[in-house]
Amino acid sequence: MPAKTPSPLAGAGPSAHASGGSTRTMAAKIWEDHVVVAHPGEPDLLYVDLHLVHEVTSPQAFESLRLNNRRVRRPDLTLATMDHDVPTLGGRAAADEIAERQMAALEENCRREGIPLFGMGSSRQGIVHVIGPELGLTQPGLLIVCGDSHTSTHGAFGALAFGIGTSEVEHVLATQCLRQRRPKVMAVTVEGELPVGVTAKDVALGIIGRIGVDGGRGHVIEYRGSTIRGLSMEGRMTVCNMTIEGGARAGMIAPDEKTFTYLKGREHAPRGQQWDTAISRWSALATDADALFDREVSIDAARLEPYVTWGTNPGQSVPVTGRVPDPTSETDQRALQYMALEPGTAIESIPIDRVFIGSCTNARLEDLRIAATVVRGHTVHPKVRAMVVPGSASVKRQAESEGLDAAFREAGFEWRDAGCSMCLGMNPDILGPGERCASTSNRNFEGRQGSGGRTHLVSPPMAAAAAIAGHLVDVREFN
């Protein structure tokens, strides 16, 4: 988060923490709680409470530690899983040779350093940003990092969580610390009741459409307002997850009763007297009433609609009832060409070949439930291949216990094992060249889901409806 200068408006320096400064943002409070060393003019050295590790961005970090004869400082604050590469059909044997090498490297690195690992076949395996919350490891007030840009997801619990690169992964492994410039803080306030058919995903796409794909650069975003408070924890995770698509490294939401209810009783949540201590600490994290933000954006929930992206970045979206817009820049022009779309085309007339319901954005139980509600009693369009990839082994088990798998299978969806899957296509789940996909994932970049593939980002119910209709369709008019 290398903001250019410490941000005076977002909270006073560490001294304010010591004196219990009373006008601070949540981001400032958590930041100051984690300062190990602060030297004027230098980035702060921050302590990391939880370091999540996966197979793709960690091998070079472990290798470098080994070459420098260094060890992992706090394996007990580190958790590894396999998610990016893992096949979602046929188990580990279905992995290609280099993916297998990467998974084997993670196993060996974790074994040598004593890091807990939920590998393929583990009952706790899953997408790193799904399992952290599920296990109760993601808690308010923590500083959480992972070598993955969607680490912003964990901010839904009132944690400061952001993605890092492999050099930083190495730094955290070796020192449990990270050197960072203090970012600015942007408030995004969404007020009002969400219209029928509008989900957390649409809130996220609406925000990105408003601020732009680099609107949050140099900032942490704090999501506020009655709409955000009204979202479930799953919905809040979806909104925080997409923060990076608006250019901000971290997104966060103040913890409240919903947060505490979600956490209570989870495997790693505090218990007994410690639970009470935790609640009182967590309750003090929210931004103080008179704290100032560096930037404020307000959004009226009543004006949000189910969105569909038409281009090759997540800011290029329109309401599903809309049309492909006229290009206003060379970027737009390139995007239309890549997507093979003509300006003026009704979004609902765009046929699709594939549907992907999955990813750290939208593969939690609530997402699968709402998608299953749409598909029940229907059949996937004969020209569409549709798959559901649960976010974790646990989500998969719970979904199966509720019969969601049967609903999807009977409608003609493939029901897969947990992993990142076709969100980024590092495993065998990819789009073919020219294939068009309605996807609940987070990125519609060129080739993201497979070289030449065309991605339309939508919410889970919109993806489910598109699978049945065979084209993009307004879920509000569906059934």
Partner 1 sequence: MEPFIRVTGVLAPLDRANVDTDQIIPKQFLKRIERSGYGPFLFYDWRRQGDFILDRAEYRGATVLVTGANFGCGSSREHAPWSLLDAGYRAVIAPSFADIFKSNSFRCGLLPVELPEPAARALIDLALQEPGMEITVDLDRQRVAAGGFEASFSIDPFFRECLLNGWDEVALTLRQEAQIARYESTRPSWLPISG
Site residues for partner 1, 391-430, by CB under 8 A, read: 424-426
Q: Are 209 and 315 in contact (CB under 8 A)?
A: yes
The residue among 310 and 415 lying less far from partner 1, judged by its C-beta, is 310
Q: Which of 28, 79, 352, 375 binds partner 1 (CB under 8 A)?
A: 79
Site residues for partner 1, 270-299, by CB under 8 A, read: 270, 274, 277-278, 281
Site residues for partner 1, 110-129, by CB under 8 A, read: 114-116
Does residue 478 belong to the site contacting partner 1 (CB under 8 A)? no
Closest approach of partner 1 to the CB of residue 323, in Å: 23
Q: Which of 163, 197, 255, 358 binds partner 1 (CB under 8 A)?
A: 163
The residue among 20 and 382 lying less far from partner 1, judged by its C-beta, is 20
Which segment (100-108, 371-379, 403-411, 457-465) binds partner 1 by CB under 8 A? 100-108
Which segment (19-27, 330-338, 376-384, 467-475) binds partner 1 by CB under 8 A? 330-338
The two tokens of residue 21 are 């400064």
Strand-pairing partners, residue 436, are 454
Closest approach of partner 1 to the CB of residue 166, in Å: 4
The residue among 126 and 306 lying less far from partner 1, judged by its C-beta, is 126
Which segment (14-22, 69-77, 186-194, 349-357) binds partner 1 by CB under 8 A? 69-77
Size of the site for partner 1 (CB under 8 A): 89
Does residue 92 belong to the site contacting partner 1 (CB under 8 A)? no
Which segment (75-83, 234-242, 299-307, 371-379) binds partner 1 by CB under 8 A? 75-83
Does residue 457 belong to the site contacting partner 1 (CB under 8 A)? no
Which segment (18-26, 101-109, 317-325, 399-407) binds partner 1 by CB under 8 A? 101-109
d(CA 348, CA 320): 7
